[in-house]
A and B are shown apart, each in its own frame.
Chain A
Amino acid sequence: MPLLEISGLTHRFAGLCAVSDFNFIIDPHELVGIIGPNGAGKTTVFNLITGVYKATAGSIKLAGRDLVGQTPHTITRSGIARTFQNIRLFRELSVLDNVRIAHYGRMAYTPVEALLHIGRFRAEEKRITDLTLDLLSMFKLDDMANEKAKNLPYGLQRRLEIARALATGPKLLLLDEPAAGMNPNEIIQLMEFIGWIRQTFSVTIILIEHQMRLVMGICERLVVLDFGATIAAGLCAEIQNNPKVMEAYLGVEVAQ
């Protein structure tokens, strides 16, 4: 059974069709890229999957369960986590707290236990903190666990955001332009890093990206969007020579 199955997904912003009739299937442990020019509707697709926007039409199924109309936090709890194009960490909170929040959906204590610090509270907090510190040390962030997130350098903020997403325990990880603002050297590192995440956490990954080098390097399949419509889908090599894709990226004349 496919992990995620999207069919006929459409979203309109007051007349503007941001995504139209988007179909997409991803199997467990795949790594698929979504590419397309600016404003093609890539991030909108992520926002639809995670429930930030409500789809105008179509269905999104995670392992057979329909997600349309559910709130973002229930969708996250059912196993989809994401990062953001422009980093959205909790800037004034410590690195540790940023990641501990991601356990919200799976806490064993009730509000009353939290208010009085009784019952399961202490043991559960210790469990969450230890798990978080373990995760942070895997991401080499544990030395700055008490640093405010806003004080981290840009590259580490990106890394922390991925760590935070993984702390929710996802089956499917959505990465929205993880290479934005990185130089070619850092992109090579990032490629290895994404491969490592996929192995270590055995997650399925959908990647939105502009950097062709990154996408072609690690993705197995690609979907190309332009003005909300899917103009091509298939293996990387097929996409590279697809005239429609060249047209969307480079313009008609150059493509000819």
Chain B
Amino acid sequence: MPKLSTAYHKLLEQWHTLTGCKYFWPVFMVAGLLFCAAASTFEFLDLYLQLILIYVGINIILTVSLNLINGYMGEFSVGHAGFMAVGAYVASLLTVHVFPEAAANILFPLAILAGGVGAAFIGFLVAIPSFKTRGDYLAIVTLAFCMIVKSVLENIDAVGGPRGLLGMEKLTTLPWVFFWTALSVWVIRNLVYSNFGRGVLSIREDEIASDLMSVDTRQVKIIAFVVSSFFAGIAGGLFAHALQFINPRMFDIIKSTDILIMVYLGGIASISGSIIGAVIYTILLEILRPLGIWRMVLMPLMLVLLMIYRPRGIMGLKEARLFMPLSDFLTEKLWRQKKKEANDAST
């Protein structure tokens, strides 16, 4: 046994040296993008596998962005599907009705971006009630918001009403999903490791103390909601163009629940946890597909067991070193060095 543990530690150390390298992320990004581009052009992954990977990416975006509100800020939002719906509809309307068909391919990222901006604007509006409401009551507000979005969409005939919206081309490709996923993970990671992110965390820990430590809690809540809903909108746009069909019923509370499950499965306040949660949940659902209806028995059962044995999720409140900024380690190392030198000088 001890042999196994030393081998593990040795491996872990090597892993840390590898990921601690300055070039790890750039290399990873280029390799990932190349792999995705190759997979979608040469189709060495069949279309089914590609579609699963696309859903994995979309779910990672959704999970990481919801984790900002539910994990890092400690609020309970169940309205994430609502933001997703806004993004999906804005992006789809642009590609179907506004953009010329010939240029749809080139203008696709613009449509996705517009979906994100639309959702971010709605997120800004939802942030306002969060100034004074928190916990269970904010959950009710976001639930109501999700219902409002659904019924508004159902009652606008121009976007297809309850029948939904058709006619999107299949513009969501693996490279694009990889790009947007990486972007959302990177941006949210950056936010968390800044003083604004620390403000978000301090609201979870103690909102009054946070306010008294000069944190503008309203500003922090607006930033958190806007960033979170922006990426939910991005995910919505990608989702619409992967499925090529959307209707309001897709974005109801059930969809929000799915995202919540991925967040709590992976673990709150953890980027790596969100990624793990989204990957495991999406892939397990696919693997268990042959079980038919029993899948919906097995899956919840696994969640119950997880919550009993790991109540904070797989990575709850922990972070893989991979996602922490190098500069944090560097500052500390320099500090220790400086202190040691000062000690040596005095003795």
B187 → chain A, closest Cβ, in Å? 5
A84, A90, A103, A130: the one within 8 Å of B202 (CB): A90
Complex contacts, A133 vs chain B, CB 8 Å: 331, 335
**Per-residue contact bits, chain A 99-123, to B (CB 8 Å; 1 contact, 0 not):** 0111111110101001111000110
Is A128 close to B, CB under 8 A?
Answer: yes
Complex contacts, B199 vs chain A, CB 8 Å: 101, 104
Distance of A116 Cα from B188 Cα, bound (Å):
9
Nearest-neighbor residue (CB-CB) of A78 within chain B: B214
**Per-residue contact bits, chain A 12-54, to B (CB 8 Å; 1 contact, 0 not):** 0000000000000000000000000000000000000010100
Known: A103-B195, A114-B194. A73 touches B211 (CB 8 A): yes
Q: How many A-B residue pairs have CB under 8 A?
A: 114
Complex contacts, B209 vs chain A, CB 8 Å: 84, 88-90
Distance of A164 Cα from B205 Cα, bound (Å):
15
Nearest-neighbor residue (CB-CB) of A167 within chain B: B213
A219 → chain B, closest Cβ, in Å? 23
Most buried by B among A52, A101, A125, A130: A101
A72, A114, A115, A137: the one within 8 Å of B208 (CB): A72
Q: Are B205 and A130 in contact (CB under 8 A)?
A: no
Interface of B is mostly: helix
Q: Are B195 and A100 in contact (CB under 8 A)?
A: yes
Q: Are A93 and B205 in contact (CB under 8 A)?
A: yes
Q: Are A97 and B196 in contact (CB under 8 A)?
A: no
Q: Are B215 and A73 in contact (CB under 8 A)?
A: yes
Size of B's binding interface in residues, CB under 8 A: 34
Most buried by A among B194, B199, B213: B213
Complex contacts, B335 vs chain A, CB 8 Å: 130, 133, 142
Is B223 close to A, CB under 8 A?
Answer: yes
Nearest-neighbor residue (CB-CB) of A128 within chain B: B195
Complex contacts, B212 vs chain A, CB 8 Å: 50, 52, 72-73, 76, 81-82
Q: Are A101 and B331 in contact (CB under 8 A)?
A: no
Nearest-neighbor residue (CB-CB) of A145 within chain B: B332
Nearest-neighbor residue (CB-CB) of A170 within chain B: B214
**Per-residue contact bits, chain A 74-100, to B (CB 8 Å; 1 contact, 0 not):** 001100011010001111110001001
Nearest-neighbor residue (CB-CB) of A76 within chain B: B214
B196, B215, B331: the one within 8 Å of A111 (CB): B196
A131 → chain B, closest Cβ, in Å? 11
A165 → chain B, closest Cβ, in Å? 8
Q: Are B214 and A115 in contact (CB under 8 A)?
A: no
Known: A72-B208, A88-B209, A130-B331. A101 touches B227 (CB 8 A): no
Distance of A76 Cα from B205 Cα, bound (Å):
19
Q: Are A126 and B197 in contact (CB under 8 A)?
A: no
Q: Are A93 and B194 in contact (CB under 8 A)?
A: no
Distance of A88 Cα from B209 Cα, bound (Å):
6
Known: A76-B213, A101-B213, A116-B190. A88 touches B223 (CB 8 A): no
Complex contacts, B39 vs chain A, CB 8 Å: none
Distance of A121 Cα from B204 Cα, bound (Å):
24
Q: Are A114 and B197 in contact (CB under 8 A)?
A: yes
Q: Are B331 and A115 in contact (CB under 8 A)?
A: no
Complex contacts, B331 vs chain A, CB 8 Å: 126, 129-130, 133
B269 → chain A, closest Cβ, in Å? 8
Binding site for B on A (CB under 8 A): 50, 52, 71-73, 76-77, 81-82, 84, 88-93, 97, 100-107, 109, 111, 114-117, 121-122, 125-126, 128-130, 133, 137, 142, 145-146, 164-165, 168
- Given A77-B214, A126-B327, A128-B195, 19 more A-B residue pairs with CB atoms under 8 Å apart are A73-B215, A73-B217, A88-B209, A92-B201, A97-B198, A100-B195, A101-B198, A103-B214, A104-B195, A106-B214, A111-B196, A115-B194, A117-B194, A121-B194, A122-B327, A125-B327, A130-B331, A133-B331, A146-B332
